[in-house]
Amino acid sequence: MADLVILPGSEANLPAEAAALVEAYQRASKADATVRAYRGDAALFEAWCVRFGFRSMPASSEAVAGFLVHEAEAGRAASTIGRRCAAICYAHKLAGHPDPTDNEAVHAAVKGIRRRIGTAPDQKAAITAEVLAAMLIRIPDTLTGKRDRALLALGFAGAFRRSELVALNVEDIREDKDGIRILVRRSKTDQEGRGMEKAIPHGRFIRPVLLLREWLEAAGITEGPVFRPVSRSGRLRSSGQVDHLAPRLTTQAVADIIKKYAKAAGLDASTFGAHGLRAGYITTAAERGADLVRIMDQSGHRDTRTVVGYIRRANAFKDHSGSGSL
């Protein structure tokens, strides 16, 4: 169950090499982060079933409902419980078994969980242009500092997801008289790799292009991953192989960097997450009257509702209905 790649019966007799290829393509149908999360969810469900005497594969709808309620009682967020349910469904479909989550008992349990614990997300603070400026001036002028300045500035200017930032290669950057153009080869909303281009202007205040150039020049990076680990002694870490195989920063490292400099700026680091740069760009653009379509061009959002949510928060006090009477 935990491996999530149990092949349907018709494929179980395939030669080992062919079965491995089928498994690889099944994995590729989901983003790597999703597969990792699903594996963990499946392992938790299997352990719960062992503990309480249920069968995990194929599972009964009663077992699934009981597990989800157990997770709710343990304080899990509604979004986490929803993902647990999706993982169980995905594993059963790959194994060729009926989906135990497609059952009224499970639907009722999920609905009840959502009503009882709520579905409101834990909204992290947006790193607006002003907040970002306060963070940048606290960064020391070391090799690590140059990387962190470039990471934060570029992450904001491109409204990048952290997964997109750590996946960037030097080869994805193209010079332009007005700044640089960056090719995002794959993203959360583009799992098939059609790619999208983001324009990053030179800027007058944050100056993301200049900060990126300073980092690449100081680190001597001419190809391969843009953002890489730096040792405590201040040296660029290497795999000992050719440059394009050099190690990358992890998505967790991006989150840690954001919290580090939020704290250095005297802010409550617990209120900032890795999504803060992306949210901050959208919020800042909305505050300054940028067009919705232009904001979505940069952020890569497909659903206007998400962006409109940021705009509403950014303009909550603008032309307030009670401003003339309160």
Helix residue spans in the chain (DSSP H):
16-28, 32-52, 61-73, 78-95, 104-117, 129-136, 143-157, 162-167, 208-219, 251-264, 276-287, 292-299, 304-314
**Structure tokens belonging to residue 233:** 């002694």
| C-beta separation of 220 from 144 below 8 A | no
Alpha-carbon distance of 11 to 107, in angstroms, equals 31
Angle, CA 312 vertex, CA 110 and CA 124 arms, to 5°:
60
Give me the active site residues, please.
161, 188, 275, 278, 301, 310
Dist. CA 71–CA 27, nearest whole Å:
26
Residue 21 phi, psi dihedral angles, 5° rounding: -65, -40
Assess contact for 156 and 127: CB atoms under 8 A: yes
**Under DSSP, is residue 107 helix (H, G, I), strand (E, B) or coil?**
helix
For 236, counting Cβ atoms within 10 Å of its Cβ (0-12 exposed, 13-18 middle, 19+ buried), the class is middle
Whether 263 contacts 271, CB under 8 Å: no
Do residues 157 and 205 make contact, with C-beta atoms less than 8 angstroms apart? no
Alpha-carbon distances of 261 from 2, 119, 140, 156, 284, rounded to whole Å? 38, 30, 10, 14, 19
Asked if residue 272 lies in contact with residue 125, where contact means CB atoms within 8 angstroms, the answer is: yes
